[in-house]
Amino acid sequence: MTSSEALLDLAMKMPKAELHLHIEGTFEPEQMFAIAQRNQVVLKYNSVEELKEAYQFENLQDFLDLYYQGMSVLLKEQDFYDLTMAYLKRVHEDNVVHVEIFFDPQGHLSRGVSFETQIKGIYGALKDAERDLGITFKLIMSFLRHLDEASAFETLELAKPFLEWIDGVGLDSSEVGHPPVKFENVFRECKALGLPVTAHAGEEGPPEYVWQALDVIGVDRIDHGNRALEDEDLIATIKHKGLTLTVCPLSNLKLCVVDTLEDHPIRTMLRYGLNATVNSDDPAYFGGYMNDNFAALVKDTGISKDELYALACNAFEGSWLDSKSKQQHLMTLKSLFA
Ligand code: HPA
Ligand SMILES: [Zn+2]
């Protein structure tokens, strides 16, 4: 085996934590068509092939338009269960042992699907996969930032009977024009409820939005964070606070956040001492799950064994697992990389 084959092998085999994953973004076209048919919903596309051909995006909004269309076939608890279970079985093959997944309640509430229907399906699959596949999990409710803060507050009210199942809150959807400050009050209430907070920031939005995520919202983690690298003081602050960045290489490529993976900033982030991690974001739309993301980094960025180790450790360290579980995963990684 050449050294790059050995590195790829290690990357595929190592235990992984995924911290940035939208469950609605795991909707594979085949499953989408099957659920559409059983719910008697007609999709805009005539075939799986036609749908897949539409997966060409110039920016985040191009993708989001398709993402909201795709999720519109999810109507019943079983649909949410099947979607989530398919993802968990798929990443089990990639040696993912812990997941922290987002769901977008407002994307379903607007279509008349109750909060209870959504969360019972998703949580049911997470619990079953924990028992059957040994994958531990956290569930993160994400607010859609293109909607107003009142809608986020209404969603939080609906979530209150299920707070035992909700491990944190996030902020996603169209970034530019919807800065974190728009949601200052609702995140203050979330924090008062004891919920950890993360937010998408600096994917397409300017460094100012990342500052707001830190200073106004007080995030515990940053999703993406690419454009933070444009501001030296911001880099220093993220480093000083020890915040984790949930970076998504293939997503960034598909949404034209980077032109090529060779240009991807993840190694620069590590060089600056930032806690970057590797994640798949919306794998059904972006061409790959966790191992595809790691394989692309190994093949296209010249990543070293030390960098791979740092990325793997950062994911467990930045997770919302208890410290004992973190230590166990870190020990496993240490012996694997020794
Ligand atoms: O990458 C993303 N960015 C913002 N919103 C999203 N919703 C799903 N995926 C994304
Ligand atoms: Zn995302």
Domain of 52 in residue numbering reads as 3-329
pLDDT of residue 2: 87
pLDDT in tens, 165-188: 999 999 999 999 999 999 999 999
- Whether 304 is in a domain gets the answer yes
Strands in the chain per DSSP E: 16-22, 96-103, 136-144, 168-172, 198-201, 221-224, 244-247, 275-278
Element spanning 176, H or E:
none
The residue whose two tokens read 């398709």 is 66
Structure tokens belonging to residue 180: 């974190």
Name the residue among 157, 276, 283, 299 with its Cα closest to residue 223: 276
**What residue numbers does the annotated binding site for substrate cover?**
282
Instruction: Give residues with Cβ within 8 angstroms of 33, minimum separation 6.
Output: 43, 47, 48, 51
Q: How many domains does the chain have?
A: 1
Q: Name the pTM for this structure.
A: 0.98
Using CA atoms, how far residue 298 sits from 270, 304, 317, in Å, is 15, 8, 22
Ranges of the chain with pLDDT below 70: none
- Whether 56 is in a domain gets the answer yes
Q: Sheet harboring 198-201: ordered strands across?
A: 198-201, 221-224, 244-247, 275-278
- Whether 337 is in a domain gets the answer no
pLDDT in tens, 99-134: 999 999 999 999 999 999 999 999 999 999 999 999
Question: Which residues are placed with Cβ below 5 angstroms of ligand 2, an ion?
Answer: 281
DSSP structural state of residue 214: I
- How many angstroms does the Cα of residue 326 sit away from the middle of ligand 1? 27
- How many angstroms does the Cα of residue 83 sit away from the middle of ligand 1? 17
- CA geometry: angle at 151 spanning 148 and 156, to 5°? 130
For residue 248, the ligand 1 atom closest to its alpha carbon is 1
Which of 203, 204, 307, 317 is catalytic? The answer is: 203
- Whether 336 is in a domain gets the answer no
CATH of the domain at 306: 3.20.20.140
- Whether 209 is in a domain gets the answer yes
- Whether 229 is in a domain gets the answer yes
pLDDT of residue 250: 98
- The 10 Å CB-count burial string (b at 16+, else e) for 4-15 is eeebbebbbebb
Please report the ipTM that was assigned to this predicted complex.
Answer: 0.96
Distance CA 246, CA 197 (A): 13
- Whether 338 is in a domain gets the answer no
- Whether 335 is in a domain gets the answer no
pLDDT of residue 1: 85
